[in-house]
Amino acid sequence: MAFHSQKRLVRKYYQALDTSEINTAADTVSAVSQFCSAELLWRGFHPFNEIRGADAVENQFWGPLKSSLTGLQHRIDIFFAGNNIYPETGGVWICSMGHLMGLFDKTWLGIRPTGKLAFLRFAAFHRIENEKIVETAMYFDIPHFMMQAGLQPFPPQTGQHLVQPGPATHDGLLYEEHDPKEGQKTLTLIDQMARDLGQWGSGLPLEAELRRTWHEDMLWWGPEGIGATYTIERYAKQHAGPFRASFSERSKTNHICRIGEGNYGAFFGWPNFVATPTGGFMGMPATGKPGAFRVIDLYRREGEKLKENWIFIDLLHFWKGQGVDILARTTGIAQP
| pLDDT for res 40 | 98
Q: What is the mean pLDDT of residues 171-182?
A: 94
- The CATH number of domain 180-331, selected from 3.10.450.50, 3.20.20.70, 3.30.70.920, 3.30.70.890: 3.10.450.50
Tens-digit pLDDT profile for residues 256-271: 999 999 999 999 999 9
Nearest to 272 by CA among 299, 244, 292, 249: 292
State what percent of residues in the chain have pLDDT above 70.
Answer: 96
Q: What is the CATH architecture of 4-148? A: Roll (3.10)
Q: Cis (ω within 30 of 0) for the bond into 290?
A: no
Tens-digit pLDDT profile for residues 75-127: 999 999 999 999 999 999 999 999 999 999 999 999 999 999 999 999 999 99
Tens-digit pLDDT profile for residues 7-56: 999 999 999 999 875 445 555 567 899 999 999 999 999 999 999 999 99
How confident is residue 193, by pLDDT bands cut at 50, 70 and 90? very high
| pLDDT for res 196 | 83
| pLDDT for res 46 | 97
Tens-digit pLDDT profile for residues 287-314: 999 999 999 999 999 999 999 999 999 9
d(CA 222, CA 282): 13
Tens-digit pLDDT profile for residues 270-283: 999 999 999 989 98
| pLDDT for res 21 | 56
Q: State how beta strands 117-129 and 92-104 pair.
A: antiparallel
Equal CATH topology for 4-148 and 180-331? yes
DSSP state of 53: S
| pLDDT for res 107 | 97
| pLDDT for res 174 | 97
Tens-digit pLDDT profile for residues 198-236: 666 667 899 999 999 999 999 999 999 999 999 999 999
DSSP state of 304: T
d(CA 222, CA 315): 11
| pLDDT for res 321 | 96
Tens-digit pLDDT profile for residues 144-171: 999 999 999 998 888 777 778 999 999 9
From first CA to last CA, the distance across the chain in angstroms is 43
| pLDDT for res 317 | 97
d(CA 301, CA 288): 36
| pLDDT for res 200 | 63
| pLDDT for res 213 | 97
Domain parsing of the chain, residue ranges: 4-148, 180-331
> What's the mean pLDDT when you consider all of the chain?
93
